[in-house]
Amino acid sequence: MSAGQHHALCGYSPNHQLNESPAYEIASLKLLKMKFLVYKAGIKPLIGIAMISAVVVLAQCKKDPPPAPLVCDLTDIPYSPTPYTIKKPDHFPQVPVPADNPMTAEGVELGRRLFYDPILSGDSTMSCSSCHLPQGSFTDNKAVSTGIDGIAGRRSSMSLLDIAYVTTRLFWDGRVKNLEEQALKPVEDPIELHTTWPEVVQKLKNHPDYPGYFRKAFGINSCEEITKELAAKAIAQFERILISSGMSKYDRFVKGEIDLEDEELRGKLMYFDEGAQFQLPDAQCFHCHGSVTLTGNNFFNNGLDSVGSFNDFVDKGLGEFTGNPSDNGKFRAPTLRNIAMSAPYMHDGRFQTLEEVMAQYNDNGTGFVNEDPFVQQIGFPVQGHYPGLTPSQTADIIAFLHTLTDTAFVNNPDVQNPFQ
């Protein structure tokens, strides 16, 4: 009997949707499995024998000290990882991959399962994908995310599109340094997946399939070698394939394949401060949402909160992490790729539409001392003051933002839920 079969009969139930206690789950699943095997055999006289053997197997299982798996040795499963080349558009830079977590097809596949599998949550109801769904460009389209206990967090989920290019300071406040470290956080966050890593690792060890997947991805010899670090590495490998398809209208324009509509083009020129010769003002966007991925991965106060002092920011953002009060109110300027798909907007989801976002920028922000000067220089100056963009210029910017929509990315079969 292979490790997989043995686990399936005596170990942890692979159906994480069930909320029953593990003991109930195991017993009922075993009976179901036996019935299914008997049904498949289709030989009625054997049913009796099969039922008897089911009882025997069950009796044996009862003696097992749960939840430790009986067969943990994985060495008869071949380990020959296939190097994985991340697909990216030609005009994108090389995708950075850390030396200690090389990409393999097996690692990506394991990571994809872990990302979509509610086994990572305390009550088996939520996974990473609950808050990072493909159709929202890997956000949940909620103002703030809610975890397994129904408690609302204080921040909005972030798009994971092109996240591989963010190699320092992830999250709205920059508090984690890379994807491997980030992937460890949601599991133990009380308002996210709310469990502990020892519990998750135990569930993975006892699972019928995961020990084999870990073996194929990382060459471990025994299920006892499954660790949270390996799980995080696999999840990070999967996240690194969440790369733009290069098929958005904007990318096809950059590649010289299509023209933009006039309003989209005007929007693009203002976005990149390239419109002077066409009497178009600077919208300043690219200073903070620049480069190919349309984020400089830097932190700014873009003028959202009206405060009297550095201590008044409800969410201190970067300052909460650095401890430097002048960083209070600064947040990561996220990618604007697929922005039309990831409403509502900002770290707390305060804006429902791109029109509301633009109204904020056209107002020059709130003018607190650490607000970035670029936010105060949008549009043509009138006697040293910037009144923002006109309504038609604003519509042009929004038309341009819509050219960043990448439906080929959100529909890419490689990034979908493997359990559906």
Part of the chain binding ligand HEC (CB under 6 A), chosen from 85-93, 124-132, 217-225, 407-415: 124-132
Part of the chain binding ligand HEC (CB under 6 A), chosen from 83-91, 165-173, 210-218, 274-282: 165-173
Q: For ligand HEC, which residue of 345, 368, 386, 409 counts as binding (CB under 6 A)?
A: 345
Output the smallest distance, CB 408 to ligand HEC, in A.
Answer: 20
Q: For ligand HEC, which residue of 54, 77, 201, 304 counts as binding (CB under 6 A)?
A: 304
Q: Within 10 Å of residue 135's Cβ, how many Cβ atoms? A: 12
Output the smallest distance, CB 73 to ligand HEC, in A.
Answer: 28
Prior bond of 67 cis (ω within 30°): yes
Q: For ligand HEC, which residue of 210, 213, 214, 300 counts as binding (CB under 6 A)?
A: 300
Of the candidates 245, 244, 200, 237, the one whose C-alpha atom is nearest the C-alpha of residue 112 is 237
Output the smallest distance, CB 267 to ligand HEC, in A.
Answer: 9
Q: Is position 347 an interface residue for ligand HEC (rule: CB under 6 A)?
A: yes
Q: Is position 404 an interface residue for ligand HEC (rule: CB under 6 A)?
A: no
Q: Is position 84 an interface residue for ligand HEC (rule: CB under 6 A)?
A: no
Give whole-number Cα distances, 360 to 159, 248, 305, 364, 367, in Å.
21, 26, 10, 7, 12
Part of the chain binding ligand HEC (CB under 6 A), chosen from 15-23, 24-32, 99-107, 338-346: 338-346
**Closer residue to ligand HEC in complex, CB, 157/244:** 157
Q: For ligand HEC, which residue of 109, 117, 192, 264 counts as binding (CB under 6 A)?
A: 192
Part of the chain binding ligand HEC (CB under 6 A), chosen from 29-37, 152-160, 258-266, 320-328: 152-160
Q: Is position 318 an interface residue for ligand HEC (rule: CB under 6 A)?
A: no
**Closer residue to ligand HEC in complex, CB, 66/387:** 387
Output the smallest distance, CB 52 to ligand HEC, in A.
Answer: 44
352-391 footprint of ligand HEC as x/- string (CB under 6 A):
--x--x---x----------x-xx--x-------------
Q: Is position 341 an interface residue for ligand HEC (rule: CB under 6 A)?
A: no
- What residues from 218 to 247 belong to the interface with ligand HEC (CB under 6 A)? 235
For residues 17 and 123, what is the distance between their CA atoms, to the nearest angstrom? Answer: 9
Q: For ligand HEC, which residue of 12, 165, 172, 214 counts as binding (CB under 6 A)?
A: 172
Of the candidates 100, 403, 115, the one whose C-alpha atom is nearest the C-alpha of residue 242 is 115
Q: Is position 288 an interface residue for ligand HEC (rule: CB under 6 A)?
A: yes
Q: What are phi and psi of 214, to 5 degrees?
A: -65, -40
Q: Is position 128 an interface residue for ligand HEC (rule: CB under 6 A)?
A: yes
What's the 3-state SS for the chain? CCHHHHHHHHCCCCCCCCCCCHHHHHHHHHHHHHHHHHHHHCCCHHHHHHHHHHHHHHHHHHHCCCCCCCCCECCCCCCCCCECCCCCCCCCCCCCCCCCCCCEHHHHHHHHHHHHCHHHCCCCCCCHHHHCEHHHCCECCCCCCECCCCCECCCCCCCCCCHHHCCCCECCCCCECCHHHHCCHHHHCCCCCCCCHHHHHHHHHHCCCHHHHHHHHHCCCEHHHCCHHHHHHHHHHHHCCCCCCCCCHHHHHHCCCCCCCHHHHHHHHHHCCCCHHHCCCCCCHHHHCCCCCCCCCCEEECCCCCCCCHHHCCCCEHHHHHCCHHHCCEEECCCCCCHHHCCCECCCCCECCHHHHHHHHHCCCCCCCCECHHHHCCCCCECCECCCCCHHHHHHHHHHHHCCCCHHHHCCHHHCCCCC
**Closer residue to ligand HEC in complex, CB, 30/207:** 207
Q: Is position 131 an interface residue for ligand HEC (rule: CB under 6 A)?
A: yes
**Closer residue to ligand HEC in complex, CB, 11/134:** 134
Q: For ligand HEC, which residue of 3, 34, 72, 126 counts as binding (CB under 6 A)?
A: 126
Q: Is position 337 an interface residue for ligand HEC (rule: CB under 6 A)?
A: no
Which stretches of the chain bind ligand HEC, using CB under 6 A?
115, 120, 126, 128, 130-132, 145, 147, 153, 155-158, 160, 163, 166, 170-173, 179, 182-183, 186-187, 192-193, 235, 283-285, 287-289, 300, 302, 304, 331, 333-334, 336, 339, 342, 345-347, 354, 357, 361, 372, 374-375, 378, 397
